[in-house]
Amino acid sequence: MKQETGREQKQVLLAHIEKLNESARVAVETALKVREGERVLIVGNPPLESYGIALALHNAVAEAGGIPLLLIQPVKSQLDFADDAVIQAISSEPDVFISISSQKLGKDRFAINKPYRLSDRSYDHVFTYLMAAKKLRAFWSPAVTQDMFVRTVPIDYTRLAKEAGAIKSVLDPAEKVRIQSPGGTDIMVGLRGRTAFVDDGDLSKPGTGGNLPAGETFISPELGASEGKIVFDGSLSLHDTDIIVKEPVSVFVEKGFVRSVEGGEEAARLEETIEYGEQKARQFVKEGRLPEGKGEMYRRNARNLGELGIGLNPSAEIYGQMLEDEKAYRTCHLAIGANYDEDAPALIHLDCLMRSPTITAYLPDGRERTILRDGGLCEDLFPKA
């Protein structure tokens, strides 16, 4: 009997390994489309959830004819610095970069003190700079698990691209969106001058990057132009973990900044993390990790409304792991902290999720377009053939 059980366990393990290898092949061959001879840098962590995926990706790159390099660094939180060797490896300008982190990749202590500049933009991490300047291709998967990777990476990317592109086509020209939810959210988010990003799993073009699992369209709100109340009733990112919301968290936003957070234990933890981001900005100046004059900007932006994202991965569910949660259908998330347009730098980026939102876009010509209604994608987003 025990021998039979052992056999069954081995079969389950082998089946899991094969599924993990297949998901890695999808990531390398379908998403990144790694070509023969391309240098691919993979950074992971010692825990098996991270290391197992990183190793599967290493092998998938080699099978595709690429040249993989796998680095393992200690686990880093949202406020930690990446190991210097990791930053130097990224600085060597690989063709492709993959981060498989138990928490986060880690900040760039060199660039945060002396940012890279490209035209009128500045970058406080060599990774984001190389994506813009050298057209590095990449994906990053903070807090990914093997179960998540196996379930949510092998999906219909044609459908995802269609839905993500349809939402982008509405958000790009929109001046603002109104977000409402059954939980009590009612906020107007300014979008003038912003362009949406599509996380549709196509990472084959120079300079493209995103999450795997993929599955969202997201945009950086216009600075100082959001007003209203947000009620998060899904999950929250904190500085060192993600949590499911048990008691709704109310966040009040004025002129694009979080002014107050109300609710129970989860609300208190979110406020503590925001304050931690503020305190760390001051501390970094004292320690010379941030130059004089930058500390106040990083401190202020710890309360900035930094992102609106709409989930589109049909295999994603809300588990209290934000990498997957934020991709789930019938949800949207708003982030507190740094944005993706690199004009509101902060030490934190806290994705926070709400369920079943209604999102209405207001266009310059006075028209209104509903993107989600009670969480569901509106059919008129997709032109009839």
pLDDT at position 3, please? 55
Show which of 121, 144, 167 is a domain's final residue: 144
Average pLDDT score over residue span 94-110: 96
The number of distinct structural domains making up the chain is: 2
pLDDT at 63 over 60: yes
User: Measuring CA to CA, how many Å separate 344 from each of 83, 149, 194?
Assistant: 24, 31, 13
**SS3 of 135, please?**
coil
Do 216 and 273 fall into the same domain? yes
pLDDT, tens only, 293-342: 889 999 999 999 999 999 999 999 999 999 999 999 999 999 999 999 99
Neighbouring CB atoms inside 10 A of 145's CB total 20
* Final residue of a structural domain among 144, 176, 203: 144
User: Tens of pLDDT along 170-218?
Assistant: 999 999 999 999 999 999 999 999 999 999 999 999 999 999 999 999 9
- DSSP 8-state secondary structure symbol assigned to residue 304: B
181 and 32 assigned to the same domain: no
Confidence at residue 289, expressed as pLDDT on a 0 to 100 scale: 85
**Cα atoms in the 13 Å half-sphere on the side-chain side of 99:** 29
Same domain as 371, residue 227 = yes
Q: Is residue 150 part of a domain?
A: no
| Residue partners of 145: CB distance under 8 A and separation at least 6 | 49, 321
- Per-residue pLDDT band at 10 (split at 50, 70, 90): confident
Are 175 and 103 part of one and the same domain? Answer: no
Output the pLDDT for position 20: 97
Q: What are phi and psi of 331, to 5 degrees?
A: -135, 160
pLDDT band, very low/low/confident/very high, at 224 (cuts 50, 70, 90): very high
Q: What is the pLDDT of residue 250?
A: 98
User: What is the predicted pLDDT for the residue at 384?
Assistant: 66
Residues 245 and 364 in one domain: yes
Residue type, 139: F
39 lies in a domain?
yes
Domain co-membership, 124 together with 179: no
Residue 32 inside a domain? The answer is yes
Among 220, 227, 225, 223, which Cα is nearest to 252's? Answer: 227
Eight-class DSSP state of 36: T
Q: Cβ distance 332 to 357 under 8 Å?
A: yes
Query: Which range marks the domain in which residue 132 is found?
Result: 2-144
User: Residue 149 falls within a domain, yes or no?
Assistant: no
Q: Does the residue 162 lie in any domain?
A: yes
Residues 113 and 180 in one domain: no
Position 190 scores a pLDDT of 98
- Give percent of the chain with pLDDT exceeding 90: 89
Residue 279 falls inside a structural domain: yes
CA 190 → CA 155, 175, 194, 226, distances in Å?
Answer: 32, 6, 9, 5
Q: Do 244 and 170 fall into the same domain?
A: yes
pTM, entire model: 0.89
Phi, psi of 86 (to 5 degrees): -70, -45
In this structure, the answer to whether residues 26 and 173 fall within a common structural domain is no
In a domain, 151, yes or no: no
pLDDT tens string 262-291: 999 999 999 999 999 999 999 999 998 888
Residues 195 and 330 in one domain: yes
d(Cα 364, Cα 293) in Å, to the nearest integer?
A: 37
Q: Is the confidence at residue 2, as pLDDT, over 70?
A: no
- Are residue 242 and residue 299 in the same domain, yes or no? yes
Asked if residue 220 and residue 313 are part of one domain, the reply reads: yes
CA–CA distance, 272 with 94 (Å, rounded to integer): 38
Q: Which of 144, 175, 207 is the last residue of a domain?
A: 144
CB atoms within 10 A of CB 355: 21
Residue 5 pLDDT level (bands cut at 50, 70, 90): confident
Supply φ then ψ for residue 149, to 5 degrees.
Answer: -60, -40
Q: The CATH number of the domain where 38 resides is what?
A: 3.40.50
With cut-offs at 50, 70 and 90, classify the pLDDT of residue 1.
very low
